[in-house]
Structure 1
Amino acid sequence: MQIAKVRGTVVGTQKDPSMRGVKLLLVQLVDEEGNSLPKYEVAADSVGAGVDEWVLVTCGSAARQIPGNEQRPLDAVIVAIIDTIHVEDRLIYGKKDQYR
């Protein structure tokens, strides 16, 4: 899994029938210090994430192991919304601190 920040939405009016109803989000990967990396992914949202939220993204075959995704052409899925990240007793990210 990778940590990422939701940067925006991706909308496609014409897509594979198996992708109907799937919300797609543009996410930017984040390093262990909380710094944005110059790498982006388009990920299917399975948890109701929104723009500016930090999320966990699973990629590759793990993305297709989520129930209902087995027959979808997915390479990345958001599987959790992050509340906090601590590294060596330091708070790297806190969701409640973000909205103050």
Structure 2
Amino acid sequence: MYAAKIVGSAVCTCKEQRLIGLKLLVVQPISLLTLHEEGRPVVAVDAVGAGESEVVLVVSGSSARQTEVTTNMPVDATIMAVVDHIDVNGKKIFEKYESNDRGRE
């Protein structure tokens, strides 16, 4: 499981039958400590109704196929939670409802 920020979406007019109706979002992995980008973006199935620019938790591999939405589907990454806040060692790293993004300086 890793943290990521939603940076876009992928629209596919032709796709595997079992994926019809599922929202595909582009997520950029981020550090939980700094919120800075880490690694390459990936496309993930949205199992929770996440929105643009939200910080989310993503599962990959066989775990990506264990949500109610993605059971036995051909997916390798699934958004399975929207992050409200992150605290590490008593320090607030991220708060969804604050007007400024902490940790991005």
Instruction: Indicate the TM-score class for this superposition, using the shorter chain for normalisation.
Output: over 0.9
1:20 counterpart letter in structure 2: I
Say which structure is richer in helix: 1
- State the 4+ residue runs in structure 1 displaced beyond 6 angstroms: none
Deviates more, 1:64-73 or 1:9-18: 64-73
Tell me, in whole angstroms, the C-alpha distance in 2 between the residues paired with 1:96 and 1:68. Answer: 27
Query: 2:4: which partner in 1?
Result: 4
> Mind listing any 5+ residue stretches in structure 2 that lack a counterpart?
none
Matched residues, number: 100
Normalising by structure 1, we get a TM-score of: 0.92
SS state at 1:96 partner: coil
Question: How far did 1:36 drift?
Answer: 1.4
Normalising by structure 2, we get a TM-score of: 0.88
> Mind listing any 5+ residue stretches in structure 1 that lack a counterpart?
none
Question: How far did 1:99 drift?
Answer: 6.5
Say which structure is richer in strand: 1
Aligned residues with identical type, % of pairs: 39
